[in-house]
Structure 1
Amino acid sequence: MALDITVEDNRWQDAGLEALAQQAAEATLSHFDLESEDCEIALLACDDARIAVLNAEFRGKPVATNVLSWPAEDLAAADPGGQPQLPEADFTGEIPLGDIAIAYDTCAREATDANKPLSDHLRHLVVHGVLHLLGYDHIRDLDATVMEALEVEILGNMGLDNPYTINGSL
């Protein structure tokens, strides 16, 4: 897979970002039987200040968030809870999926608050971001249910706990 990572906050390198992001993205694509070597994703590893600017610019919310995604194409299902269409290769044979930005400060704080390793939370957020690139969302309740179930399944296949449980319970 072409995972083009731009690191603006060096704390991400100490967190093992490249290997963890690659693992999470490949697990997500594999879940949908997409050939990861054909897919292209750009990942911006930044801090809260940078993601707040991006969140303000693209979503009108001038606050930091954990992850943002910009799909290369709109694959979303029209019906709530529906299955998005799978992306197709362009004329070069590549499948450009889009861009993801992830903020170190928020990710680290959320991991600490949830009493889980930063590496686990990072992989969760990359899975979450890739699902957005594949047309999944959590705005409508049914869509959120589908997306969360996929996250739990993909992370479980990677040997990670359900990120939506607290101390072993929902």
Structure 2
Amino acid sequence: MAKVLIQHASTQWPPIDKSIRKAAKLTLSEQRKGKKCEVSILLTDDNHIRQLNRHFRQQDKATNVLSFALQEGEASGVKENKRLLGDVVLAYQTIEQEATEAPISFLEHTMHLVVHGLLHLLGYDHERSEKEAERQEKKEIAILAQLGIANPYALRETV
């Protein structure tokens, strides 16, 4: 059973906590097979996520999502069956801009990024290799399909 704590650091976010929690719980239940775990999701803005990105990743720019695993090495929490997995941080303005440009719904894009960020906490890393990127994308697509959300990578393939 997954416990999902959602915190608001920005008032810009619409009331979508229920959908975020649904995406998070489905992702965690799919991957953790009923094992207890906890995650925190922080809904913030571009300025805050830029500060975090600069401090932890040495990238002085805003991004849509950041994941912070509590254990050293993202996959170690899963291997050691730890209950506290980590934090996912989402930036409102970047997500809104990406959704508008795509064009896709803000809610569906946010849910995709929740799934994406949680998979990072569970050991997936699309930056490691092309094979790992394909593995993560396939997992995201499968989870999103269960949420009634179309393949977000299909848009990229048609452009």
Secondary structure of 1:41's partner? strand
How far does residue 35 in structure 1 lie from its aligned partner after superposition?
2.3
- Scaled by the length of structure 1, the TM-score of the pair is 0.84
The structure whose RCO (Cα within 8 Å, separation 6+) is larger is 1
Aligned residues: 156
1:81: which partner in 2?
none
- Matching of residue 149 in structure 1 with residue 149 in structure 2: no
> Runs of 4+ in structure 1 displaced over 4 angstroms?
84-87
> Counterpart of 2:111?
123
Structure 2: unaligned runs, 5 residues or longer:
none
Matched-pair contact (CA < 8 Å) for 1:56–1:63: yes
Between the two proteins, what is the percent identity of the paired residues? Answer: 37
Given that 2:75 and 2:121 are in contact with CA atoms closer than 8 Å, whether structure 1 keeps it comes out as no
Q: Which residue of 2 aligns with 1:133?
A: 121
Structure having the higher helix fraction is 2
Query: What is the match of residue 88 of structure 2?
Result: 100
* Contact 1:24/1:123, CA 8 A, preserved across alignment: yes
Unaligned runs of 5+ in 1: 78-83, 90-94
Residue 41 (structure 2) pairs with residue 52 (structure 1) = no
Task: Specify which of 36, 41, 55 is matched with residue 43 of structure 1.
Answer: 41
Using the TM superposition, give the Cα deviation of residue 103 of structure 1 relative to its aligned residue in structure 2, in angstroms.
0.1
Give the alignment of 1:69-84 within 5 angstroms.
69-73=67-71, 74-76=73-75
Q: Aligned pair in 2 of structure 1 residues 85, 2: CA closer, same or farther (>3 Å)?
A: closer
Q: Distance in 1 between matches of 2:79 and 2:149?
A: 25
Provide the secondary structure at the position in 1 that maps to 2:5. strand
2:2 counterpart of 1:4: no
1:88 aligned partner: 81
